[in-house]
Structure 1
Amino acid sequence: MSDDELQLFSEERVSNDGNDSEDMDEELITPQKLLQRIESAWMNEKHSPDILPFQGEMVDLMLGQLAHMEENLEAIDRNDFRKITHKMELERIRFIVASYLRCRLQKLEEFTQHILTEERKRPPDKKRLSDAEVKFAEDFFESVERHFQLLALRHIPPNQDDITKRIVRPNLMSNVFFRVVKSCGTVVNTNDEEVELLEDSQHMLPYQLISDLIIKGDIQLI
């Protein structure tokens, strides 16, 4: 991958006379740094029991970079060994992006109602799903409900209809293994013991105890 710089535009919410507005804050990011961020988001999503905030800007930038790399590959002679290595790297990056998106879709399918319910409670600047993911989850939920109604619900006795109200939720107290990116104080584990989170240290703790630190980027799931 070349070292040419890309422009990354990240949204910042600023207060202006009591009203929130959106401003575009320009940041320069190299393709290598972009790849590191995508890999980090992928690993976090893969090992997290709950769905995390969607890294839409990172995905869009990487897809643009992939298209640029494909164009550059066309200019290389097919007998040039560099074309083989660059193509392998291209496929690796494409796999990471696809796997990241697939992980999110799997969670949406497994915990649809839970994720949609929690998403509706969040303020606009704390949303975790893209508009496309919300649409997919809502359509998927309606389809499953309709299918379930036709096949099973109408045959369930009225005194047992409470089973239809059960919501499948992720186990937020499941243990996750992580590396501390930036020292961030201490947390109290399930045994009421303090665990000091020092930079580059590795720990295993229940996800719910450190979920905010994952979103902040202070720790990395591994």
Structure 2
Amino acid sequence: MAGQGGFYSLQDDEEEGGGSKAGPSTTSRRAAEDMDLAPASQARASVAPLVRLQGAWVSERGAPELLPWEGESVDAVCSQIEEQVSIIDSLGADASTKEEEHVRLALVELDVERARWLLRSYLRCRLEKIERHAAHLALEASHRRNLSQLERGYALKYADMAASHYTSAVLDFLPDNMRGLDDRAPGGPRGDMVVGPDLERPVFVQCLADCGSLDIGLDGETALLSKNTIHLLRYRAVRHLVETERVALL
């Protein structure tokens, strides 16, 4: 039983005579065997989508703003889940499946559920940010650069529905000069009607490479970011390092 993209794969048990038992699931079993016989380099490459998605999930939860959409990793993990579910259904419906294989099927199902949970959590985290900052995202196209096409459409639709609700429920009953939903407060962003991500929020980061000295904006104070060190810094100060993947959010 070898790893396939972060999941378990099934390998058909050979009979004492050295042959494989024939049955309705022969094709699925041979596909599983082919996965087990793949070179190690291919196995490592197949693990990458799930690993990348896990890293994106951790970073997304730690960042105050929406990070770039991991569409390629999401699509790859979804394809792997569908492939594993197909194998599970095929072997589970086969009356000739051995008891030992049912134990393996349970392990495969467990790993598939873990991947599904990770995928759902990643999407929910992004959805929560979109709804929280929908008005900010709707202001300018540049604010939506890290969103997928579906997320852009959802953000604009959500902002429009929220504005319509506020207007009919409250704003229509206020004086004309108090009906704006995008009014800006004089003297700075504090008090603005439209609230964007808090880029001053402190975050934990781990350096993936030597990043040198970083100006943290406190009376010229700097921090030395060496590889594998962990720091608590303002997100704005390390934003460019997050974008270039030189540091990872924790």
User: TM-score higher than 0.5 here?
Assistant: yes
Q: Which amino acid aligns with 2:127?
A: L
SS at match of 1:220: strand
Structure 2 CA distance for partners of 1:185 and 1:157, relative to 1, 3 Å = same
Give the Cα separation in 2 of the matches to 1:213 and 1:66. 32
Give the Cα separation in 2 of the matches to 1:103 and 1:163. 25
Give the Cα separation in 2 of the matches to 1:87 and 1:94. 10
1:220 aligns with 2:244: no
Q: Is the 8 A contact 2:204 2:232 kept in 1?
A: yes
- For 1:23, the equivalent position in structure 2 comes to none
Greater strand share, 1 or 2? 1
Aligned match for 2:194, one of 141, 163, 167 = 167
- For 2:121, the equivalent position in structure 1 comes to 99
Q: Which amino acid aligns with 1:167?
A: V
Structure 2: which 5+ runs fail to align? 6-41, 184-192
Q: Is the 8 A contact 2:181 2:194 kept in 1?
A: no
Give the Cα separation in 2 of the matches to 1:37 and 1:179. 16
Residue 57 of structure 1 deviates from its aligned partner by: 1.0
Residue 108 of structure 1 deviates from its aligned partner by: 0.7
Give the Cα separation in 2 of the matches to 1:38 and 1:163. 36
Structure 1: which 5+ runs fail to align? 5-27
Larger RCO of the pair (alpha carbons < 8 Å, separation 6+): 1
The alignment-based identity, stated in percent, is 26
- For 2:142, the equivalent position in structure 1 comes to 121
Taking structure 1 as the reference length, the TM-score comes to: 0.80
Residue 195 of structure 1 deviates from its aligned partner by: 1.1
1:54 aligns with 2:75: no
The 5-angstrom pairing of residues 59-74 of structure 1 reads: 59-74=74-89
SS at match of 2:115: helix
Q: Is the 8 A contact 1:31 1:65 kept in 2?
A: no
Structure 2 CA distance for partners of 1:78 and 1:139, relative to 1, 3 Å = farther
Taking structure 2 as the reference length, the TM-score comes to: 0.71
Give the Cα separation in 2 of the matches to 1:87 and 1:107. 31
Give the Cα separation in 1 of the matches to 2:98 and 2:62. 38
- For 2:161, the equivalent position in structure 1 comes to 143
| Equivalent pairs, count | 196
Give the Cα separation in 2 of the matches to 1:148 and 1:71. 47
Q: Is the 8 A contact 2:49 2:74 kept in 1?
A: no
The 5-angstrom pairing of residues 1-222 of structure 1 reads: 2-3=3-4, 30-74=45-89, 75=91, 77=97, 79=99, 80-118=102-140, 120-121=141-142, 127-161=145-179, 165=183, 166-191=193-218, 192-222=220-250
Give the Cα separation in 2 of the matches to 1:101 and 1:217. 21
SS at match of 1:170: coil
Q: Is the 8 A contact 1:3 1:30 kept in 2?
A: no
> More displaced, 74-83 or 29-38?
74-83
Task: State the Cα RMSD in Å.
Answer: 2.3
Give the Cα separation in 1 of the matches to 2:229 and 2:132. 32
> More displaced, 161-170 or 147-156?
161-170
